[in-house]
Amino acid sequence: MIKVLIVEDDPMVAEFNKRYLQKIEGFSLIDTASTVKNAMEIINREQVDLILLDIYMPRENGLELLKKIIKLGKGIDVIVISAASDMRSVKTALRYGAVDYLIKPFEYERFQSALTSYREEVRFMEKQESISQEELDKYIFNKDSSATNDQITDLPKGLTKNTLKLILENIVELEGSPFSAEELASKVGISRVSMQKYIYFLTSLGLLTSEVSYGSVGRPVSRYQYVESKDYLIKQYK
């Protein structure tokens, strides 16, 4: 079950979000919070996988909570649900790693789409150790695989240039040492789900190579290495 925290200062809206969430299979509500401070107390006390986050709140706003989550490095994903429709708020939320953004008021169908898409991405990534380009485009980046290379100049959906730059800087600091998605996610301060999207993208470009590592306990883990000689492949996306 995906464990969810609702952060919303309006009790009526929080109740609606709670009822909507209960209709969708695969999610479990951990708690609700009406302030950033209260949310941080819950995050430090409970396991939280996903936050449904409002931006307009008393004292600190939701964007401040997004910053704090990144610094914690706990791998928590965020879907913003807010009346904030200005591009600055949207861009900032996406830059800080929000996986989706719903503008109030919204229909239940949009809420359902956001949650089910997120759930299926989580399930897909959990059972995949490797992936084809066709699967990558279809399930993660939502791109038409028939598009030509000349047409693909923008980053895939859900990826941002600032986060990509931060990830590349951290990979370079490893000086060729192999790493897992979980290790890099913790180092950068974003969720494993978000990190896996960037790793799939970099692997599809040929900037990362992967090898499955079999430990004495637990599932096999894919470990990645940076191919410095192919750094030129990423320049069109910077």
Instruction: Give the pairing type, strands 208-213 and 221-226.
Output: antiparallel
pLDDT computed for residue 193 by the predictor: 83
- What is the full per-residue pLDDT of the chain (238 aa) written as tens digits? 999 999 999 999 999 999 999 999 999 999 999 999 999 999 999 999 999 999 998 888 999 999 898 888 888 999 999 998 888 898 888 888 888 999 988 888 889 989 988 888 888 777 766 667 776 666 666 555 444 343 334 677 778 888 888 899 899 888 889 998 889 988 888 888 888 888 888 888 888 888 877 655 556 678 899 988 777 777 766 6
pLDDT computed for residue 152 by the predictor: 39
Q: Which two three-digit tokens encode residue 105?
A: 């008021």
**8 A C-beta contact, residue 41 and residue 30:** no
Distance of alpha carbon 120 from alpha carbon 139, whole angstroms: 9
Domains of the chain: 2-124 (3.40.50.2300), 129-237 (1.10.10.10)
**8 A C-beta contact, residue 117 and residue 142:** no
pLDDT computed for residue 218 by the predictor: 54
pLDDT computed for residue 33 by the predictor: 96
pLDDT computed for residue 5 by the predictor: 97
Taking the model in full, what pTM does it have? 0.61
